[in-house]
Structure 1
Amino acid sequence: MKRVILVVVLAALLVPAVCRADDYVIGEGDVLSVHVWGEPELNSQVIVRPDGKISMPGVDDVTASGLTIPELKKLMVKQISLLVKEPIVNVSLIRSVNSRVYVVGGGVDPRVFEMSQRTTLLHVLASLGSLATADLTKAYVYRDGKKIMSDFSGVFSKGEFGKDIQLEPGDTIYLPVKYDQNVYIIGAVAQPKAILFREGLTVLDALLFAGEFNKYADEDELVIVRTNDGKKERITVKTEDLMKKGELQQNILLQAGDYVIAKETFF
């Protein structure tokens, strides 16, 4: 009976700590406390070694890195049960040193993001402030020597949340500078100009900025010249179908660096 009461009291005392630590992912270098009730010789403070494992009296080489605190506690109960019948075990985080994500690339100020719980890419991006100077299409997450995700524009700018990923300690988020932040509309328009690019900018938006066509324009179509991976491509837009027939598939989304060229005609 006393043991049952003791278990209830301990559970009540430990709930706040567990609630705070449920989502924390243990990493190499973290310092943990393992407490076994009534077995002081087993109580230990342990450091997660570079191989991701911990050891304590009577228990050798338990993998802790990558687990949450509750997951490790469950594993330690199983291991300590080989030494003590029905052990009451508590595992707590003393010091975290390896829960960091690094943001580099020049598109934003470089920084170190401390993860106190499970964190996704979108959560980190949302914490960085303005990303107006970052090229999200060329951004990527680097982990264990390879890129694991590229192009953040969908998850951050278009609401494609299914593309969001869980970050892990040591991940590097690369956000390069968006060197060309303009769209250029030139040729037979009233006011040729450079337009500061924004997500969602379309051909029709660009025409409105430029005051539409001038009197020498071929109003039937215009051309978008776009550079991808060093290669130029030409995209024809049937402007007559867009503006007079309302065919919205012709209202193409523009990208930073695009040239929108309105051709001239003399007939």
Structure 2
Amino acid sequence: MNLRAAASFLSLLLCSLLAACASGGGSLADAPPAQSANAVDAYLIGVDDIVQVSVWRNPELGITVPVRPDGMISVPLVGDVAAAGLTPQDVAADLQDKLAAYVRDPQVAVILTDLRSHEYLSRVRVTGAVQQPVSIPYRQGMTVLDAVLEAGGITEFAAPGRSNLHRKTSNGAQAHGVRLDLILERGDLATNYPVAPGDVITVPERTF
């Protein structure tokens, strides 16, 4: 094969490879966006969450503690450190800076072992003219009726036909009308919506 033929063959081969990359299902262009190896990395620590602090080669500095109501944790040598409202990486970086005065080249890891504040934020709340306003843990499959029954049902002063399901979305808060009267009196489940973590159900009182 002469040089011209070899060059032509290599050119055809390169074009074939580029075409395959452009149309193949496994190409980089078609790959889904990269995700964090640990979804908790972006989680903002909250009060009552349990955090574990580890310092490489210094096990005596390791602790596992809940975040206090003031948003702080107490760490050996450095004392109180802010944790609430920060990511685990933020807290680790802050601790590394503070521990540098006592430990040579500290390597700190902060791990969330129990996301207790998340459970609080994901609760479903029922307020207004119900027997007992409640804040209940979200359960998969829960509906408006389930939540209202957890609140003991409606009172004699309720206006169930004007109930609402309030939900926060990326576009802001939204209210969805719930015909609780039809649900309770006729078994009409058209507005017996599935609830989501953080939903608030309001049952207004009648106007006399």
TM-score > 0.5 by shorter chain = no
More strand per residue: 1 or 2?
A: 1
Q: Which has the higher contact order (CA 8 A, sep 6+)?
A: 2
More helix per residue: 1 or 2?
A: 2
Band the TM-score falls in, shorter-chain normalisation:
0.3 to 0.5
